[in-house]
């Protein structure tokens, strides 16, 4: 359950006043206050699937006292992209003790696909190269990956292969490696659980190809230019 409240409290930032919005969410049956002192629509954050999933997934070992939304980044289509917030959280077994680290960079789940192409008894994979500003790299080499956008994970992975390497497949052609390893224990691999909610669901795609097909994947420029993607020349690498 989510409740919104009007607030007469203001915060000074950059020589102007910003209204501090407040609301509450229920965690384990208890109303937990949520505030937002940034320029954002709090009700949109409270309805965001990544945020609601986090709220509903808090396990019994954690006691959340408050949540403060500090910043929100929107994608080009107006959809919430990233949420940065600070939560006041204690171990449920020691609610009067020291609070645990509660800063969260929320970006939600993503998918990554390892492609294995078999040709003349040898195996190859396709790697993409694209700018990755967070690690200060203009041409970072990686396997194809993308942000989960609400579709089925297999469908997202298939779409990423089409966009990033020009490979058209069916979602049923993919092997869910996360499921193979973890079963239902984890939804994916968590690369940075100390500060980010992101998990990556890993897929495998294998295919026998001819030499002509293999060479067709070399040295392409792909990506969705209208979304700011510029993927330079996928590389074939022998395994």
Cβ-contact 73, 50 below 8 angstroms:
no
Q: Beta strands of 20-101 (E only): which ranges?
A: 21-27, 30-36, 62-74, 80-91
Length of the chain, in residues: 239
Q: What is the DSSP letter of 42?
A: H
Q: Which of 146, 77, 134, 66 is nearest to 99 (CA)?
A: 66
Token representation of residue 156: 């997202």
Domains of the chain by range and CATH?
22-106 (no CATH), 110-238 (3.90.79.10)
- Regarding pTM above 0.85, the answer is no
How far from 223 is each of 65, 140, 228, 230, 232, CA to CA, in Å? 43, 14, 8, 5, 8
Token representation of residue 141: 């080499």
Token representation of residue 148: 């989960």
Residue 236, CB-side half-sphere exposure with 13 Å CA sphere:
16
pLDDT in tens, the chain (239 residues): 445 444 433 333 332 334 567 899 999 999 999 999 776 788 899 999 999 999 999 999 999 999 999 999 998 778 899 999 999 999 999 999 999 999 999 999 999 999 999 999 999 998 888 889 999 999 898 998 888 877 677 888 888 788 778 788 888 899 999 999 999 999 999 999 999 999 999 999 999 999 988 888 776 655 544 444 455 555 667 77
How far from 159 is each of 101, 112, 151, 197, 234, CA to CA, in Å? 36, 11, 10, 23, 16
CB atoms within 10 A of CB 162: 14
List Cβ neighbours of 230 (8 Å cut-off, separation of 6 or more): 130, 131, 221, 223
Residue 3, CB-side half-sphere exposure with 13 Å CA sphere:
10
Bridge partners (DSSP) listed for residue 184? none
- 168 burial type by CB count under 10 A (0-12 exposed, 13-18 middle, 19+ buried): exposed
3-state class (DSSP) for residue 45: helix
Q: What is the rounded distance in angstroms from the CA atom of residue 23 to the CA atom of residue 42?
A: 8
Cβ-contact 128, 142 below 8 angstroms:
yes
Ramachandran category for residue 47: left, alpha or beta (phi over 0 → left; psi -120 to 50 → alpha): alpha
**What does the radius of gyration of the chain's CA atoms come to, in whole angstroms?**
22
């Amino acid at each position: 359950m989510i409740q919104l409240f009007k607030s007469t409290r203001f915060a000074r930032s950059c020589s102007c006043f910003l209204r501090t919005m407040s609301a509450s969410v229920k965690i384990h049956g208890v109303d937990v206050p949520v505030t937002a002192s940034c320029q954002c629509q709090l009700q949109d954050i409270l309805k965001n699937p990544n945020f609601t999933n986090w709220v509903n997934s808090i396990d019994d070992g954690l006691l959340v006292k408050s949540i403060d939304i500090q910043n929100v980044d929107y994608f080009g289509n107006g959809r919430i992209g990233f949420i940065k917030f600070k939560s006041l959280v204690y171990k449920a077994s020691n609610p009067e003790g020291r609070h645990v680290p509660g800063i969260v960079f929320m970006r939600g789940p993503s998918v990554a696909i390892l492609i294995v192409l078999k040709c003349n008894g040898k195996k190859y994979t396709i790697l993409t190269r694209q700018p990755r500003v967070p690690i200060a790299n203009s041409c970072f080499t990686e396997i194809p990956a993308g942000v989960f956008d609400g579709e089925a994970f297999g469908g997202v992975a298939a779409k990423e292969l089409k966009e990033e390497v020009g490979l058209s497949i069916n979602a049923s052609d993919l092997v869910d490696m996360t499921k193979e390893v973890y079963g239902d224990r984890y939804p994916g691999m968590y690369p940075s659980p100390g500060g980010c909610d992101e998990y990556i669901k890993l897929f495998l795609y294998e295919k026998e190809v001819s030499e002509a097909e293999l060479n067709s994947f070399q040295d392409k420029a792909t990506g969705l230019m209208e979304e700011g993607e510029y993927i330079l020349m996928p590389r074939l690498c022998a395994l």
